[in-house]
Structure formats: structure tokens, C-alpha cells
């Protein structure tokens, strides 16, 4: 079984592989009796890409170990499509005609990175048979169904980030054509809401209000899970409209704010390593560009608040910090996304 860049190899064939392949991570021991060969070494270039490769390799190995009736659902359907989630090392979610007992998948070491073990979670809610697809060599439920499933059953932050990422990728979001991008994203959102309504008619225990709120609050302008997580925190405390990729023109230059509360002229920016570049020269040049950009925005009356990965280690502190940015206002309206 293959996903072009990852290939499942049973243990009976492992003796043909060189020790170098196994030690470098080019061949990963994913589960008992199943290894996955990495055909493209670029998948293991960074710890982050290695974690992604392991997540997809686990789907391939688990599918190969079954009887052909397994369908990956929810978060795993999204992982199979290469869409990032909030969790770097997500559990595997799968449905089969006969529900199996609990199962864990071993920790995987590849290219010097150890990816911890995860659980296999068997779903009792079957996927829509007419929406099934084969993606990356594995059988998955439709992307709309996967998003609805997460909105109903996953933890709030995980569901919100996943739906933001699905809207971003499915809309092919571009800051240079936002109207068209958001129109495409709204079509996807409407499909999700329609499927949610159908689920509600079929099942009594669907948390409709919760799922609808998450879907309506999600935004395609989030380029990565960290921006989506930051948006989730901001919306939970802001009584004002919050927009993503807000266009600001100053002195002949155009800037795009990750997240902005335009009424208060506050900008929230997530600072990730990917934004800085890959070389020392690129990092230094990008830092200088940030300083000049922030000076121009502040001269125009904008307040710029920067957030980094370390801030997500304490969501309560981050929420308090963002709430203080609104402390000078006297809005009587409660934040619409506070729940």
C-alpha cells in the first residue's frame, strides 16, 4: 500500500532493508509486523515534518493490518489529506463494521525524532457511504463529514482549529483575493451546517448548538494552527468584531494583519519560526522588516500584540493578557464566543 511518498512494508520483507535505512528513519517501525518506508527524505527534514509523516504512516499501517473495511474518520480523515491540526501527534480515529477493543500504537523513532505513542479510537458512528474517498492510500470519510464529526465530538479548541484549517485549504485562501476566497469558504461552511442539520434529524444526542457556534466562528484566514488557536482565544474575550488578514495601506505599502480588532485598532500577530526564514541572514532581515512594519503601524495608531508558541503553554495567562488589551473599553456587550 502506498501514498506515493510512504510505503507499507511487512516485517517479512524487513531483512532486505539496510541498517542505514532503519537507523535514519527512512524505514519506520510503526506497529507490530508493519514498517513504513519513507520514499521522499524531505518528509523527515524537520521534527515537525517528521511528526506529520509518522501520523500519516500510522494510517497506512493500520489500514494494511485490517480486512479492508476500515474507514478513517474525523481528525484522521483530515490528517490523511495533509491538513494540519492543533495536535502534533493526534490519536487515530477509525470506524469498522465490527467495533474492536482499545488499541495503542507504539512510539516511533525517525531521523532522530521520537514521536510518542498514540491511541486508536474506534468510532460507533458510521461514515456516509456515498462520501467515502481514498486519499493518500487510505479510505476516509468526506472532508465535510470529518469536520462535522470534530465539531460535535472533539475538544473545543481542537475542533475550532481543524475547521479553520479545512476552510483555509478548501477555499485556497489568498490574501490577494480575499472576497473570492471567503466566498468559497462560506460554501464549504454551508455544506458543513447542512450536514450538521441532517445529523441532528437522524440522532438525538448531536450537540447542535456547540457545533454550529464553532463552525460559524471559524475563519479561513488562519494560515496555520497557531493562528487559529490565537483567534479562538481572542474571540472568547472580545465583544468586538475580529477579522483575519486585515489589509492596511500605509505610505505606499500594504500590510496584512494576522488578526485585528479594527474598532480598537489592535493587531494580534503570531510569531512562528517559519515566518523568520531558514538561514541566519533571512532571520535577521525578517526581524528588521518586523521592526519597521511595527513602527509604521504604531505611528498610524495601531497597537501590535505579538504572541509566540510559549504563550500557548498557559491559556489562562494568554486570555488575561488579551483581555487587558481591551481594558480601556467600556463595552456592555458580552463576548459572543465566550462559551
pLDDT digits (tens, 9 = 90+) for 217-249: 999 999 999 999 999 999 999 888 999 999 999
pLDDT digits (tens, 9 = 90+) for 32-68: 888 999 888 888 888 889 999 999 999 999 999 887 7
Q: Write the CA distances from 226 to 130, 131, 187, integer angstroms.
A: 33, 30, 24
Of 226-230, 283-287, 294-298, give the range with the top mean pLDDT.
226-230
Task: Name 243's bridge partners.
Answer: 260
The model scores a pTM over 0.85? yes
DSSP designation for 131: G
- Per-residue pLDDT band for 333 (boundaries 50, 70, 90) equals low
Q: Grade residue 203 by pLDDT with cuts at 50, 70 and 90.
A: confident
* pLDDT of 2 above 50: no
Phi, psi (deg, nearest 5) at residue 330: -130, 45
- pLDDT at residue 6 in the model: 78
Name the band, by pLDDT with cuts 50, 70 and 90, for residue 330.
low
pLDDT digits (tens, 9 = 90+) for 68-84: 789 999 999 999 999 99
Strands (E), 220-302: 243-250, 253-261, 266-270
Cα separation, 327 vs 62, whole angstroms: 51
As a dihedral over the C-alpha atoms of residue 174, residue 278, residue 111, residue 87, rounded to 10 degrees, the angle is -40
Rounded Cα distance, 90 and 74, in Å? 11
157-202 pLDDT, tens digit per residue, is 999 999 999 999 999 999 999 999 999 999 999 999 999 999 888 8
- For residue 23, how many C-alpha atoms fall within 13 Å in the half-sphere facing its CB? 3
Look at residues 219, 49, 86, 55 and name the one whose alpha carbon lies nearest to residue 162. 86
How many residues in the chain?
Answer: 339
Cα gap 207→213, rounded to integer Å: 10
Amino acid at each position: 500500500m502506498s501514498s506515493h511518498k510512504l510505503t507499507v512494508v511487512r516485517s517479512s520483507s524487513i531483512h532486505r532493508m539496510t541498517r542505514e535505512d532503519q537507523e535514519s528513519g527512512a524505514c519506520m517501525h510503526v506497529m507490530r509486523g508493519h514498517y513504513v518506508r519513507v520514499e521522499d527524505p524531505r518528509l523527515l527534514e524537520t521534527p515537525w515534518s517528521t511528526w506529520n509523516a509518522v501520523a500519516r504512516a500510522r494510517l497506512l499501517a493500520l489500514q494494511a493490518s485490517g480486512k479492508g473495511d476500515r474507514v478513517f474518520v474525523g481528525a484522521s480523515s483530515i490528517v490523511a489529506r495533509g491538513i494540519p491540526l492543533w495536535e502534533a501527534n493526534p490519536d487515530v480515529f477509525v470506524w469498522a463494521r465490527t467495533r474492536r477493543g482499545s488499541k495503542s500504537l507504539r512510539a516511533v523513532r525517525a531521523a532522530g525524532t521520537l514521536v510518542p505513542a498514540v491511541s486508536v479510537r474506534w468510532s460507533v458512528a458510521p461514515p456516509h457511504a456515498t462520501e467515502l474517498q481514498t486519499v493518500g492510500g487510505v479510505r476516509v470519510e468526506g472532508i465535510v463529514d470529518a469536520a462535522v464529526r470534530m465539531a460535535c465530538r472533539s475538544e473545543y479548541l481542537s475542533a475550532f482549529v481543524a475547521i479553520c484549517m479545512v476552510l483555509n485549504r478548501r477555499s485556497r485562501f489568498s490574501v490577494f483575493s480575499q472576497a473570492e476566497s471567503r466566498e468559497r469558504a462560506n460554501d464549504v461552511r454551508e455544506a458543513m451546517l447542512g450536514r450538521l442539520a441532517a445529523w441532528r434529524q437522524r440522532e438525538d444526542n448531536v450537540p447542535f448548538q456547540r457545533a454550529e457556534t464553532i463552525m460559524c466562528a471559524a475563519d479561513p484566514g488562519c494560515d496555520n494552527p497557531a493562528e487559529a488557536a490565537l483567534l479562538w482565544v481572542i474571540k472568547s474575550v472580545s465583544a468586538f468584531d475580529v477579522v483575519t488578514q486585515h489589509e492596511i495601506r500605509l505610505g505606499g505599502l500594504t500590510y496584512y494583519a494576522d488578526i485585528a480588532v479594527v474598532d480598537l485598532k489592535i493587531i494580534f500577530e503570531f510569531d512562528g519560526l517559519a515566518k523568520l526564514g531558514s538561514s541566519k541572514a533571512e532571520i535577521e532581515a525578517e526581524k528588521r522588516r518586523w521592526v519597521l512594519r511595527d513602527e509604521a503601524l504604531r505611528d498610524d495608531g495601531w497597537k501590535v500584540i505579538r504572541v509566540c508558541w510559549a504563550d500557548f503553554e498557559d491559556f489562562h495567562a494568554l486570555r488575561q493578557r488579551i483581555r487587558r488589551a481591551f481594558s480601556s473599553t467600556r463595552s456592555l456587550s458580552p463576548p459572543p464566543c465566550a462559551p
